Amino acid sequence: MDVVIREVTKRKDLKEFIFLPEKIHHNHTTWVPPIYVDEWKYFDPKKNRSFTHCDVILLLASKDGQPVGRIMGVINKRYNEIRDEKTARFGYLETWEDEEVVRVLLDRVEEWARGHGMTKVIGPYGFTDQDPEGFLIEGFENRATIATYCNFEWMPRLVEELGYIKDVDYFVYKLDIPKELPEFYKKIYERMKKKGNFEVLEFKNKRKLKPWIKPVLRLMNECYTESNIYGYAPLDEKEMEELTKRYYPVLDPRFVKAVQKDGKLVAFVVGIPDMTEGIQRARGRLFPFGFLKILRAAKKTKQLDLLLGAIKEKYRGLGLDVLMGVKMIMTVREAGMEMMDTHHEMEENVKVRAEMEKMGGKIYKKFRVYQKSL
């Protein structure tokens, strides 16, 4: 049977696009469905600000009239202009183990990218680095978090056979929560406390956290742009509002730590309780009772998932990461949690990776973003 590709242009097509993965990953125990309410917003140009500065194509593959695969192509024009690049992205590639379907979908995105004057394709990648990025290449036995891809072991192999090669690798560390802080952490923490130049901010409820959300995102924007974070394009105010709406409902104020100096925010770290078991039980549906399953899982979990963190450039290397880290460990211990998932650490970020290893962190997942010249 021939593979037929069609562009998603109707709500019926988009529904197929959004719900196809749960058919593909049926009985895939480490796969976590998305929150479908958020998926509908994410792929809606009227509700996702990223569409205003990105060219986007959504494609469905079918055989004998039945959907068998999907993919998204993205050209982030803002990112390309800042980096002086001509790079397209593919993301949300989902199929059964079928080399022909993978090839036809990627070929179509490559053809589309060339038609827009692009010279390279990377992926999997979304609009920004706040979206899932990179195929899992190690650690398949571990359940996904809400911010990462979960793919079958054969997917990277099929992509590589089509000419894609490594662009960047990300490592995810598992940190067991120590009963006693490492000695080097204690020394740095006490030194920073004595200086008294910085104030650690902690939040007991969302009412106290809410005024700090925008400053946190603005600092993220500043730091990630200055540091030339791979794949990152600056967010405008509207995009920050959308990101807030996306994650604010699942934020637990206890696991947001920040540092201010002279009344200005200079550092932050954000984590959330792992709620993926609840999302699995709810099958990604919040209603009628899915949200209760998700909340219950978040209360019972023994794992904290780190999401975001940044330190203003002029204050890096002073120990602010330790100030926040000690406070986070104390809070995690009080909550009865036993481990932290560090989220992505770039392979080349040797300083942070060395710190993770000093804390006893072990690599338990590895992701790879691929690239191909056009």
Q: What is the pLDDT of residue 194?
A: 78
Q: Which residue has 């990277």 as its token pair?
A: 156
Which two three-digit tokens encode residue 317? 């290397």
Measure the CA dihedral 230/231/234/237, to 10°: -130
> pLDDT digits over 139-194, tens only?
999 999 998 999 999 999 999 999 999 999 999 999 999 888 888 888 888 888 77
Q: Would you place residue 283 in the very low, low, confident or very high pLDDT band (cuts 50, 70, 90)? A: very high
CB atoms within 10 A of CB 115: 8
Q: Which of 233, 185, 222 is nearest to 311 (CA)?
A: 222
Domain 178-337 has CATH 3.40.630.30: yes
Three-point CA angle 369, 372, 374, nearest 5°: 150
Average pLDDT over residues 7-34: 97
Domain boundaries of the chain, sorted by first residue: 7-170, 178-337
Go through the chain and tell me how many residues it has: 374
Angstrom distance (rounded) from CA 289 to CA 353: 40
Lowest mean pLDDT across 69-78, 117-126, 200-209, 222-231? 222-231
Query: Considering the chain, what is the average pLDDT of its residues?
Result: 94
Angstrom distance (rounded) from CA 99 to CA 329: 45
Q: What is the pLDDT of residue 53?
A: 96
> pLDDT digits over 348-372, tens only?
988 889 888 888 899 999 999 999 9
Longest dimension (CA), the chain: 72
Q: Would you place residue 327 in the very low, low, confident or very high pLDDT band (cuts 50, 70, 90)? A: very high
Cβ atoms of residues 230 and 346 within 8 Å: yes
Residue 1: is its pLDDT beyond 80? no
Q: What is the pLDDT of residue 307?
A: 92
Q: What is the pLDDT of residue 244?
A: 85
> pLDDT digits over 235-266, tens only?
888 888 888 887 888 899 999 999 999 999 99
Instruction: Say if residue 206 is exposed, middle or buried (CB neighbours under 10 Å; 0-12, 13-18, 19+).
Output: middle
CB atoms within 10 A of CB 80: 18
Q: What is the pLDDT of residue 296?
A: 97
Angstrom distance (rounded) from CA 200 to CA 4: 56
- Which parts of the chain fold into alpha helices (H)? 11-24, 36-42, 77-83, 99-115, 154-161, 183-195, 206-226, 237-247, 276-282, 290-300, 320-334, 350-358
Cis, bond preceding 33 (omega within 30 deg of 0): no
Average pLDDT over residues 27-37: 96
Q: Would you place residue 299 in the very low, low, confident or very high pLDDT band (cuts 50, 70, 90)? A: very high
Q: Would you place residue 125 in the very low, low, confident or very high pLDDT band (cuts 50, 70, 90)? A: very high
Phi, psi of 232 (to 5 degrees): -85, 135
Q: What is the pLDDT of residue 254?
A: 97
Angstrom distance (rounded) from CA 178 to CA 55: 46
Residue 297: is its pLDDT beyond 80? yes
- Domain 178-337 in the same topology as domain 7-170: yes
Q: Which residue has 């290449």 as its token pair?
A: 137
Angstrom distance (rounded) from CA 41 to CA 80: 24
Domain 7-170 has CATH 3.40.50.720: no
Angstrom distance (rounded) from CA 187 to CA 191: 6
The pTM of the full predicted model, rounded to 2 decimals, is 0.94
Cβ atoms of residues 261 and 130 within 8 Å: no
